[in-house]
Amino acid sequence: MPMKIGEKPFFDRVDDALDDDFMRNAMASAQDRLRDKKLDITERDDQIGDWEEWRSAGAEIRRHTLENLDFYLDQLSENFAEKGGHVYFAKTAEDANRYIQDVAKKKNAKHVTKAKSMVTEEIGLNEALEEVGCHVHETDLAEYILQIDDKDRPSHIVVPSLHKNKGQIRDTFQEKAGYTGTEEPGELTAFARSQLREVFMEADIGITGCNFAVAESGSISLVTNEGNANMVTTYPDTQITVMGMERLVPTWEELDVLINLLSRSAVGQKITTYVTNLTPDVDEGCVDAPKDFHLVILDAGRSNALGTEFQSALHCIRCAACVNVCPVYRQIGGHAYGSIYQGPIGAVLSPILGGYEEYGELPFASSLCAACTEACPVKIPLHEQLIRHRENYVAEQGNAKTSEKMAMKAFGVGASTPSLFQIAVKGAPTFMKPLVRDGSISKGPGPMKPWTAIREFPAPGKDNFRSWFKEHKKGRK
Amino acid sequence: MKVSLFITCLGEMFYQDVAKDVVEVLERLGCEIDLPQGQICCGQPAYNSGYRKDAQKAAKQMITSFEDATYIVTPSGSCAAMFKEYPDLFKEDKEWQERAQAVADHTYEFTQFIVNVLGVEDVGAIYPARATYHTSCHMIRLLQETEAPFKLLKNVKGLELLPLENSYDCCGFGGTFAVKMVPISEQMVDEKIRHVEESTAEVLIAADGGCLMNIKGRIDRKEKPIEVKHIAQILNSRA
């Protein structure tokens, strides 16, 4: 499954991540920097006004769009087709890949350039295109780095190569692309640029993702900082845009709000260097427009969330604000999630798209601190959805360990039978006495074991609070 | 003022001294306290682990015990936040949902109650020490109480309150997260402790039993010379 990253089980991936000091330092400092820049431009910048009002507007736009998704998808596809574009609704990743393979075959394409394409990572499009003899060239700097480094995978939704430093990038360039320069970022970038110039010129097809599609005009909108998307969409005669079926807005007015929310939430920028809006205009004969423009609208599991408590997960605008504040992501990085969608939104989205069998552990990889919910610019209740996933996982899927189910059953009984609880409170000091050394428990049996693996467990207090309280009340009368 | 105290299962089982401090502070501020005998646990361990039905059992027990209360006060931001979750927990059951709502509406975390209901910011405490404060996640994000503890601590004589770097980051407790995801939780609590050390505080204060149990458990294991206190212990100090 292309969405998947790594073959190892979850805890092995976590161990690998925790052993990687460089990566962890990179994550922590990137989080601190991104979080601070975001706060600067949302809460401390008086130009934007009340950030909470912006969030409410964003949430309302996304809610309205998703509640009327069929209407806006119809509108988008009609308007796109009316101007000469081709629309294809792909039910699965395979459907999308097959359609794109067919276009490539018809064009006899040899070289494909790509930009802004998280969703094509999700469906494994590069491999599909290679199957039909295409050379696929990633043109966003970070994706380019990952591609030439033996197809390494993204570790962050917005900054895909966050887990690498400039020294590693220099080494990769030297080993894989004949680079002879230093690790100075300007020099590295100039090298990548010189390599990509040729590629842009010879591309037969340009492929992009889609930040938003505007239903009222049948346009797609891309926000970029490097401008490569403009090269990808301008040179070849054929363009294919792949979008998740939820990534649309009704009109340009809503686009304005969402782009403000996106760039500020993602990297703390007021606006990105480029906002590229593309509408097919085959009949107009515009010289630099693609003659053949395809829009692939992808379901691939998204409709699983429609009409359920997870519908608002589809509100996500892929800004990674939740990733940038998640204390778990901070420690384990992106690859440990085993999905190209990492962090809190990844833990919510991956099981929706890929199922519990593959991604059932992710909802538990959260302390439910709600930093994600607080950060989300379109107010997705992420931590609540993680709890909903846990409920589904243990109840419907029968996935939980029997011992845990028994423990929770016992909890249910214990927490609704006061007499039992009082027996436990009174009995605990005696019962646990053999384990107590110097006022705490260092090595606990059974369910206490994982706790005491790294921490002391408190010894139960010897006094009985209820008895004390009773006496205390008498004394006050 | 009549106050029904929800002392929490952790308070009753492990932290009786904190529980007594809570009672003494509230009484000094003129509250008449009762301790509903049916109370046990708010149900959060089951709820957050995905065992909704078992959480409902715990919640029903608590709702029944507390529904006649004028004010429900608890020395835990997290448990107070769970009470606020009850109406949603019973969204398919109108009758219980209404009863849950009544309980949720009357629930306050200890410092929140003192500052926002009693209108008191100086409880006359004296505690000479260099301290820092752990803003627990459920308190600041789910309960949205970011000010009350600071207002109270500011007026404690002798207490020097130091800023805590990345105070917004979770300590790695998260209920069952602490035992299900031990290696990740370990890194989170270690980072928290590192920031506490960097603050140069001698005492770490918080208003949540779970976080305190986690951070103190790790501090003790690593034999760090940092004291860990519940805010009620500070507010009930006289010298």
Asked if the Cβ–Cβ distance from A461 to B52 is below 8 Å, we say no
ipTM: 0.96
Residue numbers of A between 29 and 88 with CB closer than 8 Å to B: 32
Q: Which residue of A has its CA nearest to B212?
A: A458
Which residue bears the tokens 């992710």? A362
Asked if the Cβ–Cβ distance from A11 to B189 is below 8 Å, we say no
Three-state SS string over chain A comes to CCCECCCCCHHHHHHHHHHCHHHHHHHHHHHHHHHHHHHHHHCCCCCCCCHHHHHHHHHHHHHHHHHCHHHHHHHHHHHHHHCCCEEEEECCHHHHHHHHHHHHHHHCCCEEEEECCHHHHHHCHHHHHHHCCCEEEECCHHHHHHHHCCCCCCCCCCCCCCCCCHHHHHHHHHHHHCCCCCCCHHHHHHHHHHHHHHHHHHCCEEEECCCEEECCCCEEEEEECCCHHHHHHHCCCEEEEEEECCCEECCHHHHHHHHHHHHHHHHCCCCCCEEEEECCCHHHCCCCCCCEEEEEEECCCHHHCCCCCCHHHHHCCCCCHHHHHCHHHHHHCCHHHCECCCHHHHHHHHHHHHCHHHHCCHHHCCCCCCHHHHHCCCCCCHHHHHHHHHHHHHHHCCCCCHHHHHHHHHHHHHCCCHHHHHHHHHHHHHHHHHHEECCEECCCCHHHHHHHCCCCEECCCCCCHHHHHHHHHHHHC
Nearest-CB residue to B46 (from A412, A455, A469): A412
The reported pLDDT for the residue numbered B40 is 96
pLDDT of residue A397 exceeding 70, the answer is: no
pLDDT of residue B103 exceeding 80, the answer is: yes
pLDDT of residue A1 exceeding 60, the answer is: no
Interface probe, candidates A24, A374, A411, chain B, greatest B C-beta count within 10 A: A411
Q: Which residue of A has its CA nearest to B7?
A: A465
From residue A64, alpha-carbon distances to A166, A213, A301, B174 in Å are 43, 15, 21, 33
Give dist(CA A168, CA A145) in Å, integer: 10
Read off the pLDDT of residues A9-53 as tens digits, 9 standing for 90 and up: 999 999 999 999 999 999 999 999 999 999 999 988 878 899 999
| Residue A461 near chain B (CB below 8 Å) | yes
The reported pLDDT for the residue numbered A284 is 65
Nearest-CB residue to B188 (from A327, A370, A408): A327
pLDDT band for position A173 (cuts 50, 70, 90): very high
Give dist(CA B15, CA A440) in Å, integer: 13
pLDDT of residue A404 exceeding 90, the answer is: no
- Judging by DSSP bridges, how do beta strands A436-437 and A440-441 pair with one another? antiparallel
A35: nearest Cα among A386, A329, A312, A378: A329
Question: Which amino acid, one-letter code, is at A325?
Answer: V
Higher local confidence (pLDDT), A395 or A68: A68
Interface probe, candidates B16, B65, B140, chain A, greatest A C-beta count within 10 A: B16
Q: What is the pTM assigned to this prediction?
A: 0.96
pLDDT of residue A400 exceeding 90, the answer is: no
Say if residues B110 and B104 touch (Cβ distance below 8 Å): no
Interface probe, candidates B181, B185, B222, B230, chain A, greatest A C-beta count within 10 A: B181
Chain A residues with CB under 8 Å of B179 CB are 447, 450-451
Higher local confidence (pLDDT), A48 or B232: B232
Read off the pLDDT of residues B140-180 as tens digits, 9 standing for 90 and up: 999 999 999 999 999 999 999 999 999 999 999 999 999 99
| Residue A369 near chain B (CB below 8 Å) | yes
The reported pLDDT for the residue numbered A282 is 67
Q: What is the mean pLDDT of chain A?
A: 93
The reported pLDDT for the residue numbered B25 is 98
Read off the pLDDT of residues A319-333 as tens digits, 9 standing for 90 and up: 999 999 999 999 999
Asked if the Cβ–Cβ distance from A15 to B166 is below 8 Å, we say no
CA A151 to chain centroid: 19
Give dist(CA B212, CA B217) in Å, integer: 8
Distance of residue A457 Cα from the nearest chain B Cα, in angstroms: 6
| Residue A427 near chain B (CB below 8 Å) | no
Alpha carbons within 13 angstroms on the beta-carbon side of residue A6 total 19
Q: Which residue of B has its CA nearest to A370?
A: B141
Residue numbers of A between 151 and 170 with CB closer than 8 Å to B: none
| Residues with Cβ within 8 Å of residue A88, at least 6 apart in sequence | A96, A99, A294, A295, A296, A297
| Residue A425 near chain B (CB below 8 Å) | yes
Nearest-CB residue to B179 (from A395, A425, A451): A451
Distance of residue B6 Cα from the nearest chain A Cα, in angstroms: 12
Chain B residues with CB under 8 Å of A18 CB are 183-184, 187
Chain B residues with CB under 8 Å of A442 CB are 221
From residue B234, alpha-carbon distances to A23, A87, A249, B128, B171 in Å are 40, 66, 53, 10, 21
Average pLDDT over residues A250-278: 95
Asked if the Cβ–Cβ distance from B20 to A15 is below 8 Å, we say no
- For B123-235, which CATH class? alpha beta
pLDDT of residue B8 exceeding 60, the answer is: yes
Q: Among residues of chain A, what percentage have pLDDT more than 90?
A: 85
- As annotated, the residues of chain B forming the CATH 3.40.50.1860 domain(s) are 123-235
Say if residues A74 and A271 touch (Cβ distance below 8 Å): no
Chain B residues with CB under 8 Å of A376 CB are none
Say if residues A421 and A395 touch (Cβ distance below 8 Å): no
Say if residues A366 and A383 touch (Cβ distance below 8 Å): yes
Give dist(CA B125, CA B64) in Å, integer: 35
